[in-house]
Amino acid sequence: MDTDRGGERGVRTAFRAQLRGVLPGTPRAGRAFALLGCAALLLAGCASMPDNGDVKAVDQSPRAEGESQVRVYGVPPQDGAQPTNIVRSFLDATTSDEADFRTASQYLAKSAKRTWQPFLATNVLQERPKPEPKAQPSREDSGGYTVTLSGSQVATVDSNHAYTPQEKPYRQTIHLIKEGDQWRIDRLPNGLVLGQSDFQRIYRSVNKYYFASYSQSEQPRSGRDVLVADPVYLRQRIEPITASVEALLSGPTNWLDEVTTSAFPRGTRLASRDLSLDDSNALRVKLSKQAASTDMAQCKQMAAQVFYTVQDMTRASKISQVELQDGNENSLCALTQEQADRDFAPTRRAGHSAGEYFIDGDHRVVSMSDHATEPTPVHGPFGTGATPLRSVAISRGEDTAAGVSSDGRSLYAAGLQDGAERGDPLLTSSHGGKHANDGLTAPSWDGLGDLWIADSDARGSRLLRLREGKGDPQEVEVPGLGKRRITAIRVAADGIRIAMLVEDKGRTTLQLGRVERSGSAEHPVLSVKELRPIAPQLEDVVAASWAGGSRLVVVGRESGGVQQMQFMETDGSASNAQTLPGVNGVKAVAASEDEARPLIADATEGIVRLPPDANWKTVAKEGSAPVYPG
């Protein structure tokens, strides 16, 4: 077997795969590919035929996504193995499908077994770490042995399961001693270190859901039950439903903690860890005593958080109902799929209309449905072409449009009804006209009815918000922005996350900021905190748009590369969504937060559209500024 192919570089130890429900298994199975079935595994030549063990049934339910028939187990240490092989086999064992790393612990000395914390962090490297003996052993350590692990780190996952891109060299040491006459590891870094291919096989991005937290002066008129997606990485084959609910109960990740809240009382835990969907795709969750005193409204909120979190983990089938119970199996409340979609769906404020919008060659704002072949001018003054615009934003209720004049100086708003008038500018910039990116950026509506825009020139930028799309613009502080320029913005439906294109010394990056609110009703204070890069590998980002609760579609290029379009998660990791077909010369892109809607782009061919599972098609030879409501 060629062990240097298929993402398994560096493997030197023999492994055996346990094929549950297909072949009799053995508990001593090693690393194997995450294959879909027995035939593919045997054809690959990477597994030997087990010769002992019990026959176990396989759950054939479609809801068991991630529950592959192939189970991967580490190989226990061999007698007389040398230190470098001990370290290599230990690293192999940490990629197994054991919940408690039982086999990996067999490589540890007694002292290390008590202190090693595998779940403290996960370091993700481009390739599997390379174990190398230390060049010059220390005289003071004549009875020990040191092995160095090295590689190129790309990200970390912390103890709260939050992913953070982090490109830097990785170098750590592992120390071994002899216990009896066998080498064992007595000192090692806490956490795991995995190659990217192993990480992608073992872990899965899952959205936990929490409620947006607004200050008293900023409570949305449209309701308070605004769910926000909080992406984390969980081991996808180790009790996935239980793991996702436990991660939910642990609270929001650090980045979202300041602007979201959980309906679960502090300290709530699972009273039973054996969670699975029943034959009708219903889920019953037994909770600790902290949850027993909640009223019906709060309990329904808790159930909604569980519903959407588990639904994100078990994407293969729809959950029919979530029932929350106390420790004695008494029902606290139940939430059906219909109730969840009606009262709590995260996409309720994302815009569900069939309308796709852009500015045509006659300067008119036009709309069309997903399957229409001809655009239609909108009602109201922006549909006449009398006001040439360079960008437009449609409110999520689709009753108002906001547009920036072709010179970038003036922001107008007008109703999308016959007889509506444009009116005077809501905002006038002093920066427009000199350069293409000077002046006002394209505006963006959040799901609370507020309008956002940035005013920029070479000296810097101001981020502004107009409450309910009218009145005096309010400046929003952006600590850490400095003199960098904001060239584009897109606000999420929840109003607490904002994506911004930021230009600095000729390089444009995509940054995500957290909107914090304070102050009084008369003097509200808004700020965008903790900007973080979303597509750090892209040197020049041209356009971005929200494409789901925790996903954006991004257009840009890597250093020395060609332009590409891809989905990115809000934590900076690559999305597991489908690869997008290429299209030439994209200047702008629009996506709906309803992931079933097509992408729209301004490209060399004109305004083009990409329906799900199809190719790009031209819908207008001339046009610009494609947008969905938002």
List strands edge to edge, sheet with 282-286: 282-286, 321-325, 331-336
Query: Does 49 map to a domain?
Result: no
Q: CA-to-CA distance for 107 and 113, rounded, in angstroms?
A: 9
Question: Worst-scoring range by mean pLDDT, 445-449, 547-551, 556-560, 592-596?
Answer: 592-596
Pair (579, 520) in one structural domain: yes
Mean pLDDT value across residues 115-139: 88
Residue 290 has pLDDT above 90, yes or no: yes
What is the DSSP secondary-structure string of 262-280?
-SSPTT--BS-------TT
Same domain, 488 and 606: yes
Residues 366 and 394 grouped into a single domain: yes
Do 217 and 246 lie in one domain? The reply is yes
Whole-number mean pLDDT of the chain? 85
**pLDDT bucket at 496, cuts 50 / 70 / 90:** very high
333-352 pLDDT, tens digit per residue, is 999 999 999 999 886 654 45
pLDDT tens, position by position, 589-599: 999 988 888 99
Query: Is the predicted pLDDT of residue 279 greater than 50, yes or no?
Result: yes
CATH number for 436 = 2.120.10.30
Q: Rounded CA gap, 307 and 208, in Å?
A: 10
CA–CA distance, 511 with 503 (Å, rounded to integer): 10
Residue 504 located in a structural domain: yes
In the listed set 344, 372, 390, which residue is the last one of a domain according to the structure? 344
* pLDDT at residue 275 greater than cutoff 90: yes
Percent of the chain with pLDDT over 90: 71
Q: Is pLDDT above 70 for 446? A: yes
Residue 544 lies in a domain: yes
- Here the tokens at position 10 are 């560096």
pTM: 0.86
Q: What is the pLDDT of residue 56?
A: 37
Same domain, 387 and 403: yes
Judge if 235 and 361 occupy the same domain.
no
Say whether both 255 and 312 belong to one domain: yes
Q: What is the CA radius of gyration of the chain?
A: 27
Residues 335 and 363 in one domain: no
| Residue 18 falls inside a structural domain | no
**Given a cut of 70, is residue 11 above it in pLDDT?**
no
Distance from C-alpha of 363 to C-alpha of 384, rounded to nearest angstrom? 8
Asked whether residue 138 is assigned to any structural domain, the reply reads: no
Give residue 80's pLDDT band: very low, low, confident or very high (50, 70, 90).
very high
pLDDT of residue 265: 97
pLDDT tens track for 167-214: 999 999 999 999 999 999 999 999 999 999 999 999 999 999 999 998
Number of domains the chain is built from: 2
Residue where one domain finishes, among candidates 303, 321, 344:
344
Confidence of residue 466 (pLDDT cuts 50, 70, 90): very high
551 and 607 part of one domain: yes
**pLDDT (average), residues 557-565:** 90
Give me the mean pLDDT over the 50-63 stretch. 39
Is residue 217 assigned to a domain?
A: yes
Q: Is residue 324 part of a domain?
A: yes
Give the span between the Cα atoms of 172 and 149, in whole angstroms: 5
| Token duo for residue 8 | 């398994």
Residue 110: per-residue pLDDT: 96
Q: What is the mean pLDDT of residues 393-408?
A: 94
Contact 434/457 with Cβ under 8 angstroms? yes
Q: Are residues 597 and 532 in the same domain?
A: yes
Looking at the structure, do residues 458 and 598 belong to the same domain, yes or no? yes
pLDDT of residue 60: 36
DSSP E strands in 534-616: the ranges are 540-546, 551-557, 563-569, 588-590, 599-603, 606-610
Dist. CA 488–CA 334, nearest whole Å: 43
pLDDT at 354: 62
What is the reported pLDDT for 433?
53
Quote the domain boundaries for residue 257: 207-344
In a domain, 238, yes or no: yes
Give the span between the Cα atoms of 495 and 447, in whole angstroms.
6
Whether 356 and 466 share a structural domain? yes
317, 344, 371 — which closes off a domain? 344
